[in-house]
Amino acid sequence: MKIHIYLVKKKIGLGTWSWGNKVFWNYSDSNDQTLRETFREALKRGFSFIDTADTYGTGQLRGRSEQLLGNFLSEIRESQKNRFKIATKLAPYPWRVGRSGFTKPFLDSLDRLNGKLDIVQLHWSTAKYNPWQEYQLLNNLSDLIDHGYRFKIGLSNIGPKKLAKMISFLEDKKKRIDCVQVQFSLLSPDINKQRLVKQICELNNIDFLAYSPLSFGLLATDPNEDVDKDKSLLRNLIFNIYKKSTTELRNTIKDIANSRSVSMAQVAINWCLYQGAIPIVGLRKKSQVIDIAYTLKWDLKDYEFDLLEMASSKCKQSMPSNPFSSN
């Protein structure tokens, strides 16, 4: 199914999952200056959306991503700060229940982000362990807006059936969903389900955000590249599991990249943009920001999209599904 949408201005979001994550991304506080430079380059290159979460940061570093982002925001002028939309995701842990379950987490995130919080997203669906909890927490967010806090509501890891119900649920409260993010890449599981989510978003003027568009960096990795000593043990394990099954796909990405004189990452990101998604790209270095920003300078051609779709369909392994994603 071909869905070519370059009708509106293309956007790319800056993802900050790696900021504070030791397990996947080998974070240490010695990286903070590099991350500061990454943030400033994103500002310079016109990025206008930054995504974080209250769970980002492993172990005792939980919340580190928000804290770093808040610190960096405090170092720039108010006029620059207003150019960004800052979105966080609040985790619906089983103990965050009732109509006030998100109140303290929201205030904590607001504090870590130095008062700059434009969108609050439900991080995942609770349908598999407490079907009513997510509605209680959406009530909670609606109440916070009614009490004077200025932010918009977003969702993450939501399937098409649940999304339709939540749109109706919030409409009854005179609230709307601003954005929905799901795993969306050339290696995504349930890609047809994700495209149904996207269709619902289009019908309801909801931004469709694509997280993990590079599949842990796998789609940006040369098919001839060996295990990288700079990658974490867990990421190298993932690469080893998927290396063989993704070779044809990554060769296709590389061929298109070489013909366009661009990076493999740009090709994989433009596959998302071609379909009208806003990819959320995890960036940790200034050089990565510069590279990804150039994705906005060119468009994928129809035949290139078809080649990528064909190579993707031949992959026998896709990325694992989020266990808390709803139908």
pLDDT band at 3 (very low <50, low <70, confident <90, very high): low
Query: Is 52 part of a structural domain of the chain?
Result: yes
Query: Is 250 part of a structural domain of the chain?
Result: no
Query: Is 319 part of a structural domain of the chain?
Result: no
- Mean per-residue pLDDT for 238-257? 94
- Mean per-residue pLDDT for 66-90? 96
Domain that holds residue 151: 13-221+263-301
Considering only CA atoms, which of 78, 75, 69, 72 is closest in space to residue 50?
Answer: 69
Considering only CA atoms, which of 118, 100, 200 is closest in space to residue 159?
Answer: 200
Which positions are catalytic? 56
Instruction: Give dist(CA 232, CA 119) in Å, integer.
Output: 31
What CATH number does residue 66 fall under? 3.20.20.100
Per-residue pLDDT reduced to its tens digit, 124-173: 999 999 999 999 999 999 999 999 999 999 999 999 999 999 999 999 99
Query: Is 212 part of a structural domain of the chain?
Result: yes
pLDDT band at 5 (very low <50, low <70, confident <90, very high): low
Query: Is 201 part of a structural domain of the chain?
Result: yes
How many domains does the chain contain in total? 1
pLDDT for res 253: 98
Residue where the block lists tokens 């150039």: 294
Cα-based distances in Å from 144 to 90, 134, 149, 151: 14, 15, 6, 9
Question: In the chain, what are the helix, strand and coil shares in percent, each to the nearest 5?
Answer: 45, 10, 45
Contact between residue 316 and residue 241 where contact means Cβ atoms under 8 Å apart: no
pLDDT for res 228: 64
pLDDT for res 322: 86
Evaluate if residue 6 carries a pLDDT over 60: no
Query: Is 31 part of a structural domain of the chain?
Result: yes
pLDDT for res 267: 98
Instruction: Give dist(CA 143, CA 155) in Å, integer.
Output: 17
Query: Is 54 part of a structural domain of the chain?
Result: yes
Query: Is 111 part of a structural domain of the chain?
Result: yes
pLDDT for res 236: 86
pLDDT for res 229: 59
DSSP 262: -
Residue where the block lists tokens 């397990």: 23
Per-residue pLDDT reduced to its tens digit, 209-237: 999 999 999 999 999 886 565 678 888 88
Mean pLDDT of the chain, nearest integer: 94
Per-residue pLDDT reduced to its tens digit, 81-94: 999 999 999 999 99
Per-residue pLDDT reduced to its tens digit, 268-304: 999 999 999 999 999 999 999 999 999 999 999 999 9
DSSP 297: G
Evaluate if residue 1 carries a pLDDT over 60: no
Instruction: Give dist(CA 260, CA 165) in Å, integer.
Output: 43
Instruction: Give dist(CA 316, CA 192) in Å, integer.
Output: 16
Record the tokens describing residue 258, joined without a space: 């070489």
Burial class of residue 90 (count of CB atoms within 10 Å of its CB; 0-12, 13-18, 19+): buried
Q: Between β-strands 152-156 and 177-183, what pairing exists: parallel, antiparallel or unpaired?
A: parallel
